[in-house]
Amino acid sequence: MPVKPKPFKLMCEDCGWAQVYAPRSDAICAPLNECPKCGSKKINMKILNSSLSVFLNKLISKQ
């Protein structure tokens, strides 16, 4: 069964470039290897959690 991935944010450590991605499906896509603005290889990825999903996960884990 397909599971929709959570949105994530890519950030460049060198120039501060950032982009939020919200995948529409669980299809695998090629990772971003370098910053499109400055070409740096120092890209960080942070999974974003909505407050609703955090609340629901806490609620489910209590049961």
Predicted model pTM: 0.66
Domain-embedded: residue 45 = yes
Average pLDDT of the residues in 34-56: 82
pLDDT of residue 60: 60
Q: What is the pLDDT of residue 57?
A: 58
In a domain, 2, yes or no: no
Segment 21-42, tens digit of pLDDT: 887 777 777 778 899 999 999 9
In the chain, how many domains are there?
Answer: 1
Task: Determine the Cα–Cα distance for residues 57 and 30; give it in Å rounded to an integer.
Answer: 29
49 in any annotated domain: yes
Which CB contacts under 8 angstroms, 24+ apart, belong to 34-42? 37/12, 38/12, 38/14, 40/12, 40/13, 40/14, 40/15, 42/12, 42/13, 42/14
Output the average pLDDT for the chain: 80
Domain of 43, in residue numbers = 8-25+33-62
Domain-located, residue 1: no
